Amino acid sequence: MGIYRDPQKITEYLTAWIREKFGNAGAKGAVLGISGGIDSSVLAALLARALGAENVIGVIMPCHSMSIDEEYALLLAGSLGIKTIKTDLSAAYDALEAEYKKSIENIGGLASANIKPRLRMLTLYAVAQHNGYLVCGGGNKDEITYGYFTKYGDSGVDLLPLADLLKGEVWAVAKYLGVPQQIIDRPPTAALWEGQTDEKEMGLTYAELDRYIACGEARAEVKEKIEKAKRNSAHKRVFPPMAILPEDI
């Protein structure tokens, strides 16, 4: 027996789940960032199926990004018939980084790179609030377990419909929903810098991560890497500690 669930059953369940959550919230539609990646593409396809393509806005947010990302995003939007908005965040990123450098010595690396997903979160909420929509994120079970996301960046959303899907299940649902093959074949990347890929940055494959999450099976060094990442990223998966005053104050 394989570790992956049936993509048709996954699709039917998530379609109903999305409709229920939007109905409960009284929201008119959904906003998501689209980059031509597999997760946002599957999310967009599910949202279009559940809510109607006319009620989904895909926001393209280049930030010193490769032009191919926008090409894939437009390919996806065209295949689904969803609306798109483009907001180039490059100038905003440059202005913020320049300002930070005045007071934060040698800022760079991930501290600078993670400005990008946080700017995208701000943009998505501006679009959502303007339209009376909810913001949806494409985080999957692998990324959430490993902590492979930016706190208050791509995790800053209202709903995470793919949160219980292993990466292999995301690919299977993509095929079932007819996501363009070019997108399915792309190596997963957060596109934080040129040449960056998820698996290269994590130092393990999605297949290894899927199997460990599903079955607890992994080579010793892979298990140690995953468990360490889970411990170090635990703060990302919960609210910040909240001080509760005692009754005698």
Residue 177 sits in a domain whose CATH number is 3.40.50.620
Residue 186 located in a structural domain: yes
What is the extent of the structural domain holding 163?
7-198
Which band of pLDDT confidence, cut at 50, 70 and 90, is reported for residue 193?
low
Separation between Cα atoms, residue 232 and residue 244, nearest integer Å? 25
Q: Does residue 204 form part of some domain?
A: no
Give a yes or no: residue 27 inside a domain.
Answer: yes
Q: Does residue 248 fall inside a structural domain?
A: no
Would you state the pLDDT for residue 89? 98
CB count, 10 Å around CB of 212?
21
Q: Percent of the chain beyond pLDDT 70? A: 97
Q: How confident is the model at residue 210 (pLDDT cuts 50, 70, 90)?
A: very high
Rounded to the nearest angstrom, the gap between the alpha carbon of residue 231 and the centroid of all alpha carbons in its chain is 21
Q: Using CA atoms, how far apart are residues 38 and 34, in angstroms rounded to an integer?
A: 10
208 found inside a domain = no
Residue 242 to residue 183: CA distance in whole angstroms: 41
**Positive/negative CA dihedral, 198, 196, 77, 172:** negative
Question: In angstroms, how far is CA 62 from the centroid of its own chain?
Answer: 15
Whether residue 238 is contained in a domain is answered as no
pTM over 0.85: yes
What is the distance between the alpha carbons of residues 82 and 69, in angstroms, rounded to a whole number? 17
DSSP annotation of 44 reads: H
235 within some domain: no
Digit-coded pLDDT (tens) for 121-137:
999 999 999 999 999 99
Question: Rg of the Cα trace of the chain?
Answer: 19
Average pLDDT score over residue span 85-99: 96
Q: What is the pLDDT of residue 191?
A: 65
211-222: pLDDT as tens digits = 999 999 999 999
Q: Is 90 exceeded by the pLDDT of residue 30?
A: yes
- Whether the pLDDT of residue 1 is over 60: the answer is no
Residue 192's pLDDT band (boundaries 50, 70, 90)? low
How many domains are contained in the chain?
Answer: 1
b/e burial code for range 120-152 (CB count within 10 A of at least 16 → b): bbebbbebbeeeebbbbbbbbbbbbbbbbbbee
| CA 123/CA 42 separation, integer angstroms | 21
User: Is residue 123, in this structure, part of any structural domain at all?
Assistant: yes
User: What is the rounded average pLDDT of the residues 200-207?
Assistant: 91
Six-digit token string for 155: 């995790």
What is the structure's pLDDT at 198? Answer: 87
